[in-house]
Chains A and B, each alone.
Chain A
Amino acid sequence: MEGGATNVSDPDNLKATELRLGLPGTDAPEKPTPANPRGSKRALLEANEEFRGKSKSPEADSNGQEAAPIAKAQVVGWPPIRSYRKNSFQSRKVEAEAAGFLVKVSMDGAPYLRKIDLKVYKGYKELKEALENLFKCFSLGELSGMEGCNNRSEYAITYEDRDGDWMLVGDVPWEMFISSCKRLRIMTGSEARGMRSSP
């Protein structure tokens, strides 16, 4: 499972293989982590506001009850769960979200793999550029396998989805792609040609 062990001390040295916009050796500024002041009234309301958009109003008020159904997200101290329990799940959730979109990228013929965070990119174009940068040293040239592909190249970018199938990157909407992509593979040579030629 990608990003399985959530180990604080970073044993896989993710930092070294993390994709950044910048030259290797420079440190990009860290993504700011959301403040989580525990026990503060304000924080609770703020945290709840995130979910206001997601929570739907509970029951249809069709039987004309006087009391309007309470929007779940706005109720302080509900459901009645100890902060201790809430906090231990909260930190897990943040970790899971942080690790959830890290995928390995392999390139045929390259001696080692890279790892990237798909959440960082807004779309296929950015991903393609990032991959070009990553594997520049292996004389990739321009990558194909996505919209506006370049006939010169002999590479195709593919990904393994949740079912274990190898798919061509670029067919499905971006959001769907990042949630179903488990790893990436830059195919070379004849295999790549075969993928590109399919309709």
Chain B
Amino acid sequence: MTYFPEEVVEHIFDFLATHRDRNTVSTVCKTWYRVERLSRRSVFVGNCYAVHPERVVARFPGLRSLTVKGKPHFADFNLVPHDWGGFALPWIEAAARGCPGLEELRMKRMVVSDESLELLARSFPNFKVLVLISCEGFSTDGLAAIATYCRVLRELDLQENEVEDRGPQWLSCFPDSCTSLVSLNFACLKGEVNAGSLERLVARCPNLRTLRLSRAVSVDTLSKILARAPHLVDLGTGSFTIDHRAEAYHKVMGNFIKCKSLRSLSGFWDAAPHCLPAVYPICGNLTGLNLSYAPAIQCADLIKLIRQCSKLQRLWILDCIGDKGLAVVANTCKELQELRVFPSDFYGGGIAAVTEEGLVAVSSGCPKLNSLLYFCNQMTNAALITVAKNCPHFTRFRLCILDPKKPDPVTNQPLDEGFGAIVQSCKDLRRLSLSGLLTDRVFLYIGMYAERLEMLSIAFAGDSDKGMVYVLNGCKNLRKLEIRDSPFGDAALLEDVGKYETMRSLWMSSCDVTLGGCKALAAKMPGLNVEVINEMDESDEMEENPCDLDKVEKMYVYRTVAGPRNDAPDFVWTL
């Protein structure tokens, strides 16, 4: 083998785009390990408890970008107790000590305190990008610290976080010298916004391209902002109720027309149908549209809008669009790649909003479709088979039939064949969520065909342990498996314990796994944390001697080099 000087090796490593590739080359030899670790600029930690923050920082002192994820995915649906964990502070503390050059921090489903945000703001002079997704534990005071101390901040992106409102002053904390913002998203904030501060901030940031406003921002303010920032590419409106005075309406429409670069629209809080025409002038340029927070807009008006969006690649919409509206999408949006249809009525029992017909129409009209999240009232095998044929390029396929365990309404059969067709046809499928009536058979198909599958979500499905075993045996690339309310027990759990070290995590809740089974798994695999989560109501007595035969309410298993957590709350037992 020819030996290159280390600078050359480092330069070659620069061409490696993915974390996976860089991780791989670091295992070749000691020299490559050293070169790689010193030149590594970006690290992704998929599970914050898989490794100690200090170890990451020690290994990669030149770190500029860090991404950390905390709670398991099912936390989104209230299945993980509120104070389970996932704290950001240890990561920020470690980085503050070991990586002063940190520029970017991205966190998802973590508990971030104001204290940690303040530490973050003060510790990294070059800090540029903060992205928080589905996090909680902080208030607008924490944001004030970021605004005040991060002198070269480029991106502040807050997506769907629970943020405590302590007043609008945080926005005024951006100093007059702050002109570097490229992206600002505070759509999830619930409190008042100082319109004047916002306008001035926008006016002095000539590179601002993404701006997503919160519900408290009025159309008047939006109008003024558009006038100052016509170069926006991605806009989230604030409250989109335009009152009936013609002047305000024409003003905002006039300002929209000037935004020639606008490619993505979202927000539309409280939008009423008569407000939509204000955006018609720029619809022809849109590649992204999110109307999923505008329940007052019904099918007819949605159709009028969508008919003008021929370049749409990403559409998030409510199911009041109906099958009829989806047919219009199919006819108009030939470039569509991602579709998400959310339910407007969560508890079902309402009007049949979208069915299999809408999905079939879209699959037929939009050949580039590769990512789907679809909430519907019913689905048939025939429809899924057709969709599989029409769209073999799905990488993400998430179907949620609102009624758990609902069979094909036409044949009364389980949906095994339909989903089987999807996994067989879509060779690049990386993420799959199942619903409806399903037997072990669907898992046989998944194990057989879903070779690239990385994440699988199962709810109310399967008949026996065999189902889970098919998946564990078959899906070579499986990283995350999450299961709820399905009859899989200890036999399935313990069938192939080594498998879990090849995966990031396994979640099982309301299944048939017992405490004894979990203990056995923990005993066999010291490289895994087996967490049993038994949340008791205050009224229940804590069991003195939980029996091994007792079924476990919730179990979370993940590979780790950090050993058992030291911050686990009482109700989490690491076995």
What residues of chain A have their CB less than 8 Å away from a CB belonging to chain B? 1, 4-6, 38-42, 44, 51, 54-56, 58-59, 63, 65, 67, 69-70, 72-73, 75-86, 88-89, 92
Is the beta-carbon distance between A78 and B243 smaller than 8 angstroms? no
A77 contacts B347, C-beta separation under 8 Å:
no
Residue on A nearest B80 in the bound complex, by CB: A77
Contact partner of A51 among B79, B347, B459, B537, CB < 8 A?
Answer: B347
Contacts of B162 in A (CB 8 A): 38, 83-84
B79–A76 contact, CB under 8 A? yes
Known: A42-B537, A67-B405, A82-B77. A73 touches B347 (CB 8 A): yes
Known: A1-B272, A54-B347. A78 touches B160 (CB 8 A): no
- In chain B, residues 452-467, which have Cβ atoms closer than 8 Å to a Cβ of chain A? 457, 459-460
B431 CB to nearest chain A CB (Å): 13
Q: A41-B535, A78-B459 are in contact. Are A69 and B348 (CB under 8 A)?
A: no
The contact sample of 15 A-B pairs, CB cut-off 8 A, is: A41-B81, A69-B403, A70-B404, A70-B405, A70-B460, A73-B347, A75-B404, A76-B79, A77-B74, A77-B78, A80-B76, A80-B459, A81-B77, A84-B162, A89-B344
Are A77 and B160 neighbours in the complex by a CB distance under 8 Å?
no
- Cβ–Cβ contact A81 & B343, under 8 A: yes
Q: Are A83 and B348 closer than 8 Å at their CB atoms? A: no
Q: How far is the CA of A189 from the CA of B494 in the complex (A)?
A: 86
Contacting A at CB under 8 A, from B76-104, are: 76-79, 81-82
| Inter-chain contact B348/A72, CB cutoff 8 Å | yes
What per-residue 1/0 map shows which CB atoms of B425-459 lie under 8 Å from chain A? 00000000100010000000000000000000101
**In the complex, which residues of chain A have a beta carbon less than 8 angstroms from the beta carbon of B213?**
none
How long is the Cα–Cα vector from A39 to B81 in the complex, in angstroms? 8
Q: Is the CB of B134 within 8 A of A89?
A: no
Given contacts A76-B79, A81-B342, A89-B346, contact A4 B241 (CB under 8 A): yes
* Chain A contacts for B484, CB-based, 8 A: 77
Contact A78/B537 with A39-B82, A72-B348, A72-B403 known, Cβ cut-off 8 Å = no
Query: Is B470 at the interface (CB under 8 A from chain A)?
Result: no
| CB-based A-B contact count at 8 angstroms | 101
Q: How far is the CB of A35 from chain B (nearest CB, A)?
A: 16
Contact B404 A78 (CB under 8 A): yes
Whether B412 sits at the interface, judged by CB under 8 Å, is yes
Partner of A83, one of B78, B81, B375: B78
Q: Are A59 and B407 in contact (CB under 8 A)?
A: yes
Main SS at interface, chain B: loop
| A73 → B minimal CB distance (Å) | 6
Contact of A72 among B74, B160, B347, B459 (CB under 8 A): B347
Please give me the residue from chain B that is nearest to A93 by CB atom: B295
A55 to B345 alpha-carbon distance, docked (Å):
12
**What is the bound-complex CA distance between A88 and B79, given in angstroms?**
19
Beyond A72-B349, A84-B161, A92-B270, 17 additional contacts (C-beta under 8 Å) are: A6-B241, A6-B270, A40-B82, A44-B78, A51-B347, A65-B437, A67-B405, A72-B348, A72-B404, A73-B347, A76-B79, A78-B77, A78-B404, A79-B346, A80-B76, A80-B459, A83-B77
- Chain A residues, CB < 8 A from B78: 39, 41, 44, 76-77, 83
> Which B-chain residue is minimally distant from A95 (CB atoms)?
B270
The residue that A55 contacts in the complex, of B77, B295, B347, with Cβ under 8 A, is B347
Specify which chain B residues have a CB less than 8 angstroms from the CB of A88 in the assembled complex. Answer: 293
Nearest opposing residue in chain A for B274, CB measure: A1
User: Given the known A-B contacts A78-B77, A84-B188, are A72 and B134 also in contact in the complex, defined by CB atoms under 8 Å?
Assistant: no
Contacts of B74 in A (CB 8 A): 77
Cβ–Cβ contact B402 & A79, under 8 A: yes
Asked if A86 and B346 sit within 8 Å, CB to CB, the answer is yes
Chain A neighbourhood of B344, CB < 8 A: 89
Q: Are A77 and B295 in contact (CB under 8 A)?
A: no
Q: Please, what's the 1-or-0 string for B196-211, where 1 marks a CB less than 8 Å from any CB in chain A?
A: 0000000000000000
Task: Kindly provide the distance from the CB of B283 to the nearest chain A CB, expressed in whole angstroms.
Answer: 24
Give chain A residues whose Cβ lies under 8 Å from the Cβ of B485.
75
Contact call B403/A82, Cβ cutoff below 8 A:
no
Chain A residues contacting B437 (CB-CB under 8 Å) are 65
Once bound together, how far apart are the Cα atoms of A73 and B349, in whole Å? 10
- CB-based contact B375/A92 at 8 Å: no
Is the CB of B400 closer than 8 A to any CB of chain A?
A: yes
B559 interface residue, CB < 8 Å from A? no
- B406 sits at the interface (CB 8 A): yes
> How many angstroms from the CA of A18 to the CA of B572 in the assembled complex?
51
Are the CB atoms of B405 and A79 closer together than 8 Å?
Answer: no
A80 with B406, Cβ < 8 A, contacts A54-B349, A63-B412, A70-B460 known: no
Least CB distance from B291 to A in Å reads: 13
State which of A5, A39, A65, A84 has its C-beta within 8 Å of the C-beta of B241: A5
Q: Closest residue to B188 on the A side, CB-wise?
A: A84
Q: In the complex, A92→B344 CA distance in Å?
A: 12
Q: How far is the CA of A2 from the CA of B344 in the complex (A)?
A: 22
**Complexed CA–CA distance, A88 and B243 (Å):** 22
Asked if residues B77 and A56 are in contact (CB atoms below 8 Å), the reply is: no
A110 to B349, CA, bound (A): 45
B73 CB to closest chain A CB, in angstroms?
A: 9
Q: Give Cα A40–Cα B535 distance, bound, in whole angstroms.
A: 12
Q: Which of B78, B188, B460, B537 has its CB near the most chain A CB atoms (within 10 A)? A: B78
Contact A84 B537 (CB under 8 A): no
> Which chain B positions have C-beta within 8 A of A54?
347, 349
List residues of chain B with CB within 8 A of the CB of A83.
76-78, 162
In the complex, what residues of B have CB within 8 A of residue A69's CB?
403, 405
Residue pair A92, B295 in contact (C-beta under 8 Å): yes
Chain B: which residue is nearest A78 at the CB level? B404
Chain A residues whose CB sits within 8 angstroms of the CB of B412 once the complex forms: 63
CA of A75 to CA of B270, assembled, Å: 29
For B459, the chain A residues whose CB sits under 8 A away are 78, 80
Complex interface bits, B400-421 against A, C-beta within 8 A gives 1, otherwise 0: 1011111100001000000000
Contacting residues, chain A, for B188 (C-beta < 8 A): 84
Near A by CB (< 8 A), chain B positions 216-241 give 241
What 6 pairs between A and B have smallest CB-CB spacing? A77-B77, A84-B160, A58-B403, A51-B347, A77-B79, A82-B76
Q: How close is A41's CB to chain B, nearest CB, in angstroms? A: 7
Q: How far is the CA of A82 from the CA of B402 in the complex (A)?
A: 14
Q: Report the minimum CB–CB distance from A15 to chain B (whole Å).
A: 20
Residues of B within 8 A of A81 (CB): 77, 342-343, 346, 375
A99–B459 CA distance with the chains assembled, in angstroms: 38
CA distance A69 to B348 in the complex (A): 14
Chain B hits for A65, CB < 8 A: 407, 437
B241 contact set on A, CB distance < 8 A:
4-6
Cross-chain contact A79 with B272 (CB below 8 angstroms): no
A92 to B296, CA, bound (A): 10
For window 234-286 of B, CB contacts with A under 8 Å fall at 241, 243, 270, 272
